[in-house]
């Protein structure tokens, strides 16, 4: 039975990020006290930057990430790790360099994989998620076109990790960071909607007025491939953490 994601509205992006960081921190420490690992699915982009800063702060206050295993959602295809816009760089700069996660527990799709190896690589990424026990909590942002990960408008609900073409809106939004649209990679590796829906819990962050319209659509009953975030209506435990600006169009 489809159900709308829950949503929580906070006065500021910082407050929303702190709330999600607190939830993640509790999960990590509870699991540690049980001698268990926790598997987090992570996103990049401007939205989760404050979340990662807050997780780094929690680490400075004593929270260990030694029992944490992470899988990132996506990576541009054709970018090596050391490219300044690679998600590998982003994740290390924003989070991994500031916490005590064992480097071997970090998984980020490799944008340098040659075409002929991609199918096997994507299957291996899925297998690694399963072998880690599945994703306990998946962090998502949302594109202005409704994408989650790089599952662009038109995405099928039943795909695992795969190679995808970026949508024009996504390329436009990335153009500035790459010094022009022509430099933005056209393809990416992304977890599929199936991978995302298999996570035990999903937390979507959305901030700012530019996300208000798509947040309204994602939180309106009705699932359509044209707005991949509406697939979250198929998930039994998803919550949108919004700031006031992103919530302005909610009834
Ligand atoms: C990032 C990702 C994307 C972003 C989305 C929002 O790993 O998968 O779906 O979450 O494009 O990006 P920002 O946060 O920059 O608005």
Looking at the domain assignment, is residue 113 inside a domain?
A: yes
| Strands 238-243 and 201-206, bridge-based pairing | parallel
Query: What's the confidence (pLDDT) of residue 1?
Result: 81
Residue 59 CB–ligand 1 contact under 6 Å: no
Q: Is there a domain that residue 174 lies in?
A: no
| Catalytic member of 18, 152, 173, 198 | 152
Cβ of residue 185 lying under 6 Å from some atom of ligand 1: no
Does the beta carbon of 41 sit less than 6 angstroms from any atom of ligand 1?
A: no
From 20, 44, 208, 243, the mutation candidate for ligand 1 (largest count of ligand atoms within 8 A of CB) is: 44
Q: Is 176 inside any structural domain?
A: no
The enclosing domain of 148 has a CATH number of 3.40.50.1360
SS (H, E, C) the chain: CCCCCEEEEECCHHHHHHHHHHHHHHHHHHHHHCCCCEEEEECCCCCCHHHHHHHHHHHHCCCCCCCEEEEECEEECCCCCCCCCCHHHHHHHHCHHHCCCCHHHEECCCCCCCHHHHHHHHHHHHHHHHHCCCCCEEEECCCCCCCECCECCCCCCCCCCEEEECCHHHHHHHCCCCCCHHHCCCEEEECCHHHHHHCCEEEEEECCHHHHHHHHHHCCCCCCCCCHHHHHHHCCCEEEEEECHHHCCCC
Catalytic residue (one of 147, 151, 162, 173): 147
The answer to whether residues 47 and 205 touch, using CB atoms and an 8 Å cutoff, is yes
Q: In the chain, how many domains are there?
A: 1
Would 24 be classed as within a structural domain?
Answer: yes
Residue of 16, 142, 245 best suited for mutating to test ligand 1, as the one with most atoms within 8 Å of CB: 142
74 labelled catalytic = yes
- Give me ligand 1 centre to Cα 142, in Å: 6
Q: Judge whether 16 lies within some domain.
A: yes
34 CA to centre of ligand 1 in angstroms? 33
- Establish if 44 belongs to a structural domain: yes
Q: How far is the CA of 11 from the centre of ligand 1 (A)?
A: 21
Report whether residue 148 contacts ligand 1, using a CB cutoff of 6 Å.
yes
pLDDT, residue 248, reads 98
Q: Is there a domain that residue 166 lies in?
A: no
| 152 in active site | yes
Whether residue 207 lies inside any domain: the answer is yes
228 lines ligand 1 (CB under 6 A): no
Does 110 participate in catalysis according to the annotation? no
Range of the domain at 207: 6-161+190-243
Q: Which residues of the chain have pLDDT under 70?
A: none
Question: What atom in ligand 1 is closest to the CA of residue 43?
Answer: 7
For atom 8 of ligand 1, the residue with the nearest CA is 149
């Amino acid at each position: 039975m489809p159900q709308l994601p829950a949503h929580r509205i906070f006065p500021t992006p910082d407050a929303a990020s702190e709330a999600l960081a607190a939830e993640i921190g509790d999960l990590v420490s509870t699991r540690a006290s049980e001698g268990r690992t926790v598997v987090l699915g992570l996103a990049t982009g401007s939205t989760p930057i404050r979340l990662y800063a807050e997780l780094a702060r929690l680490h400075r206050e004593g929270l260990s990430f030694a029992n944490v295993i992470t899988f990132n959602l996506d990576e541009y295809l054709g970018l090596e790790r050391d490219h300044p816009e690679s998600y590998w760089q982003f994740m290390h700069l924003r989070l991994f360099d500031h916490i005590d996660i064992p480097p071997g527990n970090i998984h980020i799709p490799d944008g340098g994989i040659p075409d002929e190896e991609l199918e096997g690589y994507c299957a291996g990424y899925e297998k690694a998620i399963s072998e880690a026990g599945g994703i306990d909590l998946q962090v998502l942002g949302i594109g202005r076109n409704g994408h989650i990960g790089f599952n662009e408008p038109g995405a099928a609900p039943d795909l695992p990790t795969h190679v995808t073409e970026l949508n024009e809106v996504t390329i436009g939004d990335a153009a500035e960071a790459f010094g022009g649209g022509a430099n933005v990679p056209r393809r990416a590796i992304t977890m599929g909607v199936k991978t995302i829906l298999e996570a035990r819990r999903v937390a979507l962050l959305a901030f700012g007025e530019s996300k208000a319209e798509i947040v309204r659509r994602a939180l309106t009953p009705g699932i359509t491939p044209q707005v991949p975030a509406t697939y979250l209506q198929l998930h039994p435990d998803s919550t949108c953490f919004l700031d006031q600006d992103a919530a302005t169009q909610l009834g």
